A and B are shown apart, each in its own frame.
Chain A
Amino acid sequence: MKLDAHIPPGPLAEKWKQYRGTMKLVAPNNKRNLEIIVVGTGLAGAAGAASLAELGYKVKVFTFHDSPRRAHSIAAQGGINAAKNYQNDGDSIYRLFYDTIKGGDYRSREANVYRLAEVSLNIIDQAVAQGVPFAREYGGLLANRSFGGVQVQRTFYAKGQTGQQLLLGAYQALSRQIATGQVELHHRHEMLDLVIVDGKARGIIARNLITGELERHAAHAVVLATGGYGNIYYLSTNAMNSNVTAAWRATRRGALMANPCFVQIHPTCIPVSGDYQSKLTLMSESLRNDGRVWVPRKMEDVMALREGRIKPRDIPEEDRDYYLERRYPAFGNLVPRDVASRAAKAVCDEGRGVNASGKAVFLDFASAIERYGKAEAHVQGIHNPDPATIQKLGKAVIKAKYGNLFEMYEKITGDNPYDTPMMIYPAVHYTMGGLWVDYNLQTTIPGLFAAGECNFSDHGANRLGASALMQGLADGYFVLPYTIGQFLSDEIRTPKIDPNLPEFKQVEDEVRARLEKLLNNQGSESVESFHRRLGKIMWDYAGMSRNAEGLDKARKMVRELREEYHREVYVPGSMNEFNPELEKAQRVADFMEMAELLIVDARHRNESCGGHFREEYQTADGEALRDDENYAYVAAWSWNDGEPELTKEPLTFENIEVKTRSYK
């Protein structure tokens, strides 16, 4: 198969504009007769569904949640990037484009990323018009902060709840369309398979999670906005129910899965505290604006900390190793996520981890509190403020910026981060890989589109902070509503798709057989226990650092685990009822297959780039060593019944010089 990304002609900065101006259109009277299924109601899904409905298409939306507002975009904390240059610090569309390509370690498409940077401006305008309450300055204008891997302030935020506020904006826009009847909402419905008729995506099989019934839903096109696959690792910052089933089922029906090994491990999460742990909690990257990351220099201090003989604040400045500031003076604590995560792993592997398990580093706000305290005292006209006043004022500033994150930390750990440094460790957070899509966000199956984290398109091998919200909303509000017209303009003569076609029955029967097999299994082990074991294999061998030997071993282990799963799993309850264990069981079955594909991709990519670090390919000082000659391509895989087949989409860089990524 040859992959065509359908990049429009013209100079980079003109491509999207020219393409939009010459696209095929669908007249309003025809839009009324065209139906679109949107699966998922996170940023990409809700924004896309609302925008498509505003255009006049008939939209059916599916979410497995009880309400569209619960999609996991709601949990995004830190912010959203946009090249507004409101701070007059030299930002521009080109610079956001450049930072994103570089941040992604030169493994994303120029044209897509440039378009993303371009529409970033519209997203902020749109969100503000919807009433999203972003942080503001006293003059009433929007405030910004910095995120990792950049040297300008382009991140818009709403305290540590930016995802919540942006999702509620999209949810409200969607609600407005539901009220008009333009969108039909199916909540507590989970997509379990894709239906293809005459080579085009024409519908889905969904399970009504309350009654347990399987339903057939037909449309002229299907949009997947179903998020990422981070929960393959069991422990991640993803919500408990986030899963890969929709995207995986599309892959099994012929879509290609691109770069599955590009997984983002986020450096600042609350460390694992026990075997019973069900998920990990992120502490926003925005904290690295003000928090300094360190571990002790001396092993005796490390031991004393672990045994509780000293407190972190007892260690004098000169005995602390602010290792990010030391290794990367240009970006300091704001290096990109992959770099910060590996650096934390390195100091912990040296034995300098600061908690009992040896897997934690400090994120310390003492100097920020002091700095802000002095500045605030000055503003208030207090000369020679005493230390207590400085502390009080400084803590108030920190509280205004990160209050909810500090509270969350204290609730989980019982420690007060205003008085003692946070303890953090990397955890799986986001997946850059996903369904392969062309410039129109269309997969290799005509009529099947993928938006948001669910596609692979814009982040290369590493996503920069505050870029996920940007991409999800860009796809949903400003890309898909245009590009889907390219496909639908040829469908205006296609009558309403009939869900009684044999293709629908066939897929429904297959889904029912899959679920019944799980339910009738005579095993004795819970789904959860298998999921934990899968996660451990993935974290140990396909996590923060990988090598050929480990990956070969992991592939074998995952295959064995999958066989054992289908032999030994026990799923209680029955098909025709509300049955959360059955939901989990089919999701974990799909994770088990996707996990193998991730390993195969990681094994084949003999280079280190972004979040993919192969121990065999590193520089003398432990930095990632890319191989542009042999691996400057998108790896798009078909599953092919467990013997994955690779198709390459070469990446060409015409507007940006490909360099070794350096943040030193």
Chain B
Amino acid sequence: MKLTLKIWRQKNANSKGQFETYQVEANSHMSFLEMLDVLNENLISQKKEPVAFDHDCREGICGACSMVINGHPHGPMQGTTTCQLHMRHFKDGDTIVIEPFRAKAFPVVKDLVVDRSAFDRVIQAGGFISVNTGGPRDANNIPVPKEDAEEAFNAATCIGCGACVAACPNASAMLFTSAKVAHLAKLPQGRVEASRRVLRMVHQMDVEGFGRCSNISACEAECPKEISITNIALMNREFFRAAFKSEESPM
């Protein structure tokens, strides 16, 4: 299949970017990233600079992919990361527009590569259970109802890619943050410091420059792991309860 690609090119964080147009020949068995590999091989053979994009596992779990394809983070297929998207979902002659995830908190590093370390700092603010290595009690001394364990697991499958932020008109990180809050809040081990956790993580989210949530739910629609917005509702409940009773101010 012959494709026209309009790709965002930007030398570094400080320079202005623009779209460039390329032609590429692909076949329907390729993954989207393999199609970009073909483009890059062509560019290198013409001694031109290849398109920079983040990628690693190519099996939908590392969360490195960070591109918007035809207006959708990770492209048009629901519940699918860019690396898992295959060219059989495109047609011969298609024009495909590719740009980086865009958000104030995710500055562009180069071309389609962005800096998502803001997410790491949100986790550092409280997305953990404070337990040192060594000496915990036997694992089976903490029974967890199967349903709770499954709900915690579902929230914990977030891959931290940032598609939720890219999808949101306000560039809010509520889905990402709430998934971690919900994962830990659902488990008895995580209840102990639940109040402190939610207050600190929400505060950090604001510090990083992520926007407010206005219940548009584009995040859920575009999430490649189909993380539910019920997590946001849970986080809101946790937050108000914590803010109300906590001695620690909501900052």
Contact = CB atoms under 8 A, between A and B. Distances in A.
B80 interface: yes
B59 A408 contact: yes
A135 interface: yes
Interface string A83-117: 01010000000000000000000000000000000
Contacts of A72: 56-57, 62
Interface string A38-63: 00000000010011001000000000
Contact of B133 (A140, A185, A481): A481
A431 interface: no
A574 B113 CA distance: 17
Contact of A67 (B117, B127, B152, B156): B117
B116 A172 contact: no
Contact of A179 (B41, B62, B124, B160): B124
Contacts of A357: none
Contacts of A254: none
Contact of A126 (B116, B123, B133, B153): B133
B140 A67 contact: no
Interface stretch (A145-153, A269-277, A304-312, A435-443): A269-277
B128 A172 contact: yes
Contacts of A126: 131, 133-134, 136
Contacts, number: 211
Interface in B77-136: 79-80, 84, 86, 88, 109-110, 113, 115-117, 119-120, 123-125, 127-134, 136
Contact of A125 (B59, B86, B117, B138): B138
A75 B137 contact: no
A65 B12 contact: no
Given A66-B64, A142-B139, A173 B56 contact: no
B63 interface: yes
Interface stretch (B1-9, B166-174, B183-191, B229-237): B183-191
B61 A68 contact: no
Nearest to B114: A66
B153 A578 contact: no
A130 interface: yes
Contacts of B120: 67-69, 175, 178, 185, 187
A65 B123 CA distance: 17
Contacts of B139: 84, 124-125, 127-129, 142
Interface residues of B, number: 76
B69 interface: no
B113 A125 contact: no
Nearest to A68: B120
Nearest to A158: B153
A572 B45 CA distance: 10
A125 B84 contact: no
Interface string A472-497: 00000110010000000000000000
Nearest to A164: B61
A128 B116 contact: no
Nearest to A52: B133
A408 B124 contact: no
Q: Say what secondary structure dominates the interface of chain B.
A: loop
Given A125-B137, A126-B136, A526-B45, A239 B124 contact: no
A157 B80 CA distance: 23
Given A133-B156, A175-B120, A274-B27, A86 B140 contact: yes
A185 B117 CA distance: 11
A570 B44 contact: yes
Interface string A208-234: 001000000000000000000000000
A70 interface: yes
**B29, B115, B133 — which one has the most chain A CB atoms within 10 A of its CB?**
B133
Given A75-B57, A187-B117, A161 B146 contact: no
B56 A129 contact: no
Interface residues of A, number: 80
A230 to B, nearest CB: 13
A475 B33 CA distance: 35
B142 A128 contact: yes
Interface string A402-446: 000001100110100000000000000000000000000000000
Contacts of A161: 61, 157
Contacts of B138: 125
Contacts of A189: none
**B56, B119, B125, B142 — which one has the most chain A CB atoms within 10 A of its CB?**
B56
A136 B151 CA distance: 12
B109 A278 contact: no
A572 B50 contact: yes
B149 interface: yes
Contact of B143 (A140, A173, A581): A140
Interface in B22-41: 27, 29-31, 33-34, 37-38, 41
A128 B136 contact: yes
A69 B63 CA distance: 9
A141 B143 contact: yes
A184 to B, nearest CB: 12
Contacts of A547: none
B152 A274 contact: no
Nearest to B66: A66
A159 B57 CA distance: 18
A240 B58 CA distance: 7
Contacts of B16: none
A477 B133 contact: yes
Interface string A600-633: 0000000000000000000000000000000000
A31 B18 CA distance: 51
A455 interface: no
Interface of A: 47, 50-51, 54, 65-70, 72, 74-75, 84, 86, 122, 124-131, 133-142, 158-159, 161, 164-165, 168, 171-173, 175-176, 178-179, 185, 187, 210, 239-241, 273-274, 276-279, 281-282, 407-408, 411-412, 414, 477-478, 481, 524, 526, 528-529, 570, 572-573, 577-578, 580-581
Cβ-closest 3 pairs across A and B: A140-B143, A172-B128, A129-B136
Given A66-B115, A141-B143, 7 more contacts: A65-B62, A75-B57, A130-B128, A136-B146, A172-B123, A276-B34, A580-B52
27 contacts: A66-B115, A66-B117, A67-B116, A67-B117, A72-B62, A84-B139, A128-B189, A129-B131, A129-B139, A130-B129, A165-B153, A173-B131, A175-B120, A176-B128, A179-B125, A240-B55, A240-B56, A274-B27, A274-B29, A276-B38, A278-B33, A279-B59, A408-B60, A411-B84, A412-B84, A526-B41, A580-B52
Interface of B: 11-12, 27, 29-31, 33-34, 37-38, 41, 44-45, 47-50, 52, 54-64, 79-80, 84, 86, 88, 109-110, 113, 115-117, 119-120, 123-125, 127-134, 136-140, 142-146, 149-150, 152-153, 156-157, 159-160, 183-184, 187, 189-190
